[in-house]
Structure 1
Amino acid sequence: MSATSTGKMIQREPEAFSINGDTSIPSAKSAEKGAAEDVFGDEEDHDIRYKTLSWPTYQFIAAFMIAEIVSNGMLTLPNAMAVVGIVPSLILTIFLGVFALYTAKLLIDFKLNHPDVHNMGDAGYIMFGPIGREILSAGTIIFAIFAVGSEILSGQLALSMLSNNGLCAVVFLAIFSAAIFLLSLPRTLGGLDWLGLLSAVFITICGFLAMVGAGANPVPGRVVVATVPTTFYEAFLAITGPVFSYAGHFMFFILISEMRKPEDAMKAAWVLQGFSTAFYAVFSVVVYVYIGSTVASPALLSLPPVWSKITFALGMVNFLISGALYAHAAAKLIFIRFFRRSRHIYSHTSLGWTVWVLLCFASTGVAFVFATAVPIFSYLAGITASLFASWYTYGIAGFFWLHDTYHLKGGFDGLKRKWIGTLLATSTVLAGAFICIAGTYVSAKLIADAYRQGLVGKPFTC
């Protein structure tokens, strides 16, 4: 980090690779309008326009956030409640929802202060230099690919349930992966806006019908308790569901970069966190109360067969579109890294489209191979969530606030004047570190236990 003696920041601009010598040079028109700072610049004369999302169509912006966050993670919450009890689980779900709203605010403020930031790698470059850029870029790609893999596995489970295991699981994985790849191909998020809305609607209907199904078929003699005495390991294992159910902040920079007015992003964040927190709380309580301590993860497996098939069919739409959004995000980060400020970003060039399609295929293909060939993939997904989502959703937001307050608000004097914000930001960093360390420990122990108990299967099996 560089600063003058007055504490003002010397802005670093994210770099671009040179492809065939075609690096970017902002147009004179962009420079006149001051738009060159923005990652996509002035799009008035561009063939491909990215900044098409706007708040008047708020349902699309909020839907994108809901689609990527309120996904299959929601279905693990009733099981978490069964492990620790209603009261601790409900308190944690609401607290984490408020916490995620706070970190979203810090992230959005950082984006508004640095319009050239397109992804977590760009933010890492501004704060920590080239090493920070590479670590946060790699983490984003890895986490996005593992998220795609998780959605592929959820889709395979849904297809197997609907067909009564009519085909080999590997075939279902391939079918679902191919569908995700095709849906990820639009170059702009504006080309996916209706899919985002559709995904949010379907996962909401899925949750409501799951609650109706549980209420219509309560488990006789079920056990429902307010609190459950448990060990730290068991408790943290259970609460990873609530913790990572809000893990979508790693895509926020990419999403905000394609908004016409990024300053409206906080409105969408309010809709997202308000909806997801309320929905998570109601869903987990209702399903747990009617099914009890035997509720499975995902919870849809605890419903009667007919209800399970109906809800899986609806949830599968969300799994598919969420997977496409994650694959799109991984491809978009690399694509912008290679072609930033070049004509391949905004023109229909052969090289641009070839690279884009290959990146989308690679994002989905690697996820498919991991999900199919790595028997402990679900455990590794837990480790990636602990290593990266803990920071992207929670901890790194504290660094955003500390960095900008120091550089834009008067250095250490600014941090002292805003001591409450400094305390909260520091606590956020420490919370991210705790979740990262504890989550990684729990995930590693799960892998060791799985091998010891012979629960690890073989690759490419039905």
Structure 2
Amino acid sequence: MNSLPYREAQEKVNHSSNSSSHEREQDVFEENADHDFHYKTLSWQFVSLLMIAEIVSNGMLSLPSALAVVGIVPALILIIFLGAFGLFTAKLLIDFKLNHPAVHNMGDAGLILGGPIVREILSLGTIIFAICGTGSELLSGQQALSTLSNNGMCSILLLLIFAAATLVVALPRTLDRLSWLGLGSATLITIAGVVGMVGAGLNPTPGRVIAATAQASFYQAFLAITNPVFAYAGHFMFFILISEMREPRDAMKAAWCLQVFATLFYVVFAVIMYIHIGNTVASPAFLSLPPRWAKASFGIALANFLVAGGLYAHTAAKLVFVRLFRHSRHMYSHTILGWSVWITLCIIAVAIAFIFAISVPIFSYLIGIAASLFASWYTYGLAGFFWLHDASVEVGGKSKLLRRPVGFILAVLTILAGAFICVAGTFVSIKLIIDAYARGIVGKPFTC
């Protein structure tokens, strides 16, 4: 869908003269030479690198275990299909953003789709998911540091050290300050994956079991499927990243770069690790490597965990900050109030993630629930609603949407896919928690 026909159609629609409609008509960020902060600075290349830095690390490390449950063939079909599906939904999100330049995050999109209540739900969901993502990266960082130190220091202290470093990464007010870190992060996670594959190839597991297909119950299969499903769960950040692009119309180039790279890398990494380790491969996969290779892989990937965690925390803080100060001088100038609020928001985001990580023994399972409840919609389901909304304006009303049968059917199927992933993923995550307590493998809070 082209943004120009939508704009022309939108001009024919009568809007009520309230503050929200006025807000929709303006770009989220203003550009003025006198501003201290210039937000619209990112190129599509750096946006793609930030996306890769955010998505690839945890996705890559969890995928080999999916092959161990359902087999190579079904898992690869799913990884490739979800990569293509993610590219399709990215196109719908980007078109919606181009049609609505004031949209800065999923909450703003919710205001257009369903009013203030939907806005608050999607805003809160974005913040929750971003904080859970921060916590996930903190745990990955702590795990890497524990591996590197041979568990020589209390894990809480390691987590605190990594949280402090993550806060420093999150603090820059504009994303261009993180763009070069994104380049380094994307490079290092790629190198870490290559080192991990070399380590697995040089140290294959004796007597390993490898299967092209494997029988599994629905629970086991969907549990495995959630790994590739959420390996692409970065769309919730797309609006925020695109809002800071110099040329938002180039966003699709970044999406192509992300999805093609991620899909190819996921396939290669998952297959090589599974073939050489077999059905005992752990998640994260680096834990299945010999100690020397695990240390090398984790050590190289450590910077990626740091940048990804900072980017998640930055996202949570940026959503609230823009909501509070949109089009005010505190957005664009060095003011005491602006900096005080921004630093406080970043600290709160990292602190909540840190507290959850050390005090909630089932936090890793809660991340799965958050992904099921929110990422299923942000990455997949909501894209269908975006198309239906804008297409209804172009064709002259919702009753005329069947004039575009192919787009209509794809949009409805996208919504249904999001709903299925949400319900089934939540069910599997809750059952995981119940099983973990039943087996007595849930740890205690505030322990090393």
Same fold flag (TM > 0.5): yes
TM-score range, shorter chain: over 0.9
Instruction: Indicate whether 1:263 and 2:249 are aligned.
Output: yes
1:295 and 1:367 map into 2 onto residues whose CA distance is 28
- For 1:432, the equivalent position in structure 2 comes to 418
- For 2:15, the equivalent position in structure 1 comes to 10
- For 1:50, the equivalent position in structure 2 comes to 39
Q: What secondary structure, in the 3-state scheme, does the structure 1 residue paired with 2:278 have?
A: helix
- For 2:95, the equivalent position in structure 1 comes to 109
- For 1:72, the equivalent position in structure 2 comes to 58
Q: 1:444 aligns with which of 426, 430, 444?
A: 430
- For 1:284, the equivalent position in structure 2 comes to 270
Would you say the 8 A contact 2:40–2:244 is kept in 1? yes
2:125 and 2:37 map into 1 onto residues whose CA distance is 28
Q: How does 1:303-382 map to 2 (within 5 A)?
A: 303-382=289-368
- For 2:444, the equivalent position in structure 1 comes to 458
1:145 and 1:196 map into 2 onto residues whose CA distance is 19
Instruction: Indicate whether 1:97 and 2:102 are aligned.
Output: no
Would you say the 8 A contact 1:249–1:393 is kept in 2? yes
Q: How does 1:13-162 map to 2 (within 5 A)?
A: 37-55=26-44, 58=45, 60-162=46-148
2:321 and 2:10 map into 1 onto residues whose CA distance is 37
Name the % identity. Answer: 65
Offset at residue 72 of structure 1 (A): 1.7
Aligned-partner residue type, residue 385 of structure 1: A
Q: What secondary structure, in the 3-state scheme, does the structure 2 residue paired with 1:330 have?
A: helix
Q: Deviations for 1:221-258, whole angstroms, at most 9, x for unmatched residues?
A: 11111000110000000111100000000000000000
Moved segments of 4+, more than 4 Å: 4-7, 11-16
Aligned-partner residue type, residue 72 of structure 2: I
- For 2:181, the equivalent position in structure 1 comes to 195
Q: What secondary structure, in the 3-state scheme, does the structure 2 residue paired with 1:293 have?
A: coil
Offset at residue 316 of structure 1 (A): 1.1
Instruction: Indicate whether 1:385 and 2:371 are aligned.
Output: yes
Would you say the 8 A contact 1:7–1:406 is kept in 2? no
Q: Deviations for 1:79-116, whole angstroms, at most 9, x for unmatched residues?
A: 11000000000000000000000000000000000000
Aligned-partner residue type, residue 258 of structure 1: E
Offset at residue 410 of structure 1 (A): 1.8
- For 1:245, the equivalent position in structure 2 comes to 231
Aligned-partner residue type, residue 112 of structure 1: L
1:384 and 1:65 map into 2 onto residues whose CA distance is 20
Would you say the 8 A contact 1:15–1:337 is kept in 2? no
Distance 1:131 1:170, change over 3 A: same
- For 2:259, the equivalent position in structure 1 comes to 273
Q: 1:204 aligns with which of 186, 190, 193?
A: 190
**TM-score between the two structures when normalised by the length of structure 2:** 0.95
- For 1:31, the equivalent position in structure 2 comes to none
Aligned residue-pair number = 440
1:157 and 1:13 map into 2 onto residues whose CA distance is 50
2:15 and 2:42 map into 1 onto residues whose CA distance is 30
Would you say the 8 A contact 2:192–2:297 is kept in 1? yes
1:68 and 1:411 map into 2 onto residues whose CA distance is 38
Would you say the 8 A contact 2:317–2:346 is kept in 1? yes
Distance 1:396 1:14, change over 3 A: farther
Aligned-partner residue type, residue 54 of structure 1: S
Instruction: Indicate whether 1:419 and 2:408 are aligned.
Output: no
1:326 and 1:10 map into 2 onto residues whose CA distance is 35
Residue ranges of structure 2 left out of the alignment (5+ in a row): 1-8
Q: What secondary structure, in the 3-state scheme, does the structure 1 residue paired with 2:189 have?
A: helix
CA-based RMSD: 1.9
Offset at residue 13 of structure 1 (A): 8.2
**TM-score between the two structures when normalised by the length of structure 1:** 0.92
Would you say the 8 A contact 2:10–2:393 is kept in 1? no
1:104 and 1:413 map into 2 onto residues whose CA distance is 26
Q: Deviations for 1:400-451, whole angstroms, at most 9, x for unmatched residues?
A: 0000001233223641121100100000000000000000000000111111
Would you say the 8 A contact 1:7–1:411 is kept in 2? no
